[in-house]
Amino acid sequence: MHKVEKKVKKAGFEHENYAYPGLMVDLDSLGYLLYQDVKNEAFDSVSFVTHSMGGLVFRSMLKFSGMDADLPFIYRVVMIAPPNQGAAIADLFDPEKKLNKFLGPNVQRMQTDSGSFVNTIPYPYNIEIGIIIGCRGKDIGYNVFIEGDNDGLVKPEHTLLGNEQDTIVFKLDHLALIRRRKPRKEVVEFLKYGTFHYVKTEDRRRK
């Protein structure tokens, strides 16, 4: 996220690049740690930019922050390639196999079935959400082991919450979404204005 951080900094935002031990600590605990960190900050409002599992850490935080009046007001959130309905890549791993246990406690929690962890944690409400989506734009995505289009890890339809304010699609893989200039530019656009500059539907400009 360092390139995203530089773009946000250049735009004039006060910022923190929040790191978390995603391979070692379960999502519930990560959400609580983030909640404590945000609560201890002396700000009136806060916005978030997440990539991949970071979106789930943010949503896990909402389990603890929902009734806390002392928490800063959550203004806007940009989610980049979030597995909001699960990551198709996680469906390929069998948690009973010893090798897969080295991947940590969250792989199984990110599976796409309706009863998985990602489909039980809170959805953000009364918050402006923008989602940046990656895909290949073809019937076969970047990962041939995942059925249909995908960014290598997540299918486009699995990124959505259903109440997002705006979305934008780039024909880029999961990591390229934070490495390329245009998606990073759109992060700043949404943080400033609550909308993305480009709409990929029919390749028309919004403004």
Domains of the chain from N-terminus onward: 2-201 (3.40.50.1820)
What integer is the mean pLDDT of 101-107? 73
More confident residue, 150 or 100: 150
pTM: 0.90
What are the tens digits of pLDDT across the range 113-126?
988 899 999 888 88
**What Rg value do the Cα atoms of the chain yield, rounded?**
17
Q: Which of 66, 62, 111, 115 is nearest to 89 (CA)?
A: 111
pLDDT, position 138: 95
Contacts of 12 (CB under 8 A, 6+ apart): none
> How many other β-carbons are positioned within 10 Å of the β-carbon of residue 78?
28
Per-residue pLDDT at 12 exceeds 90: yes
Residue showing tokens 């073809």: 138
> How many other β-carbons are positioned within 10 Å of the β-carbon of residue 73?
11
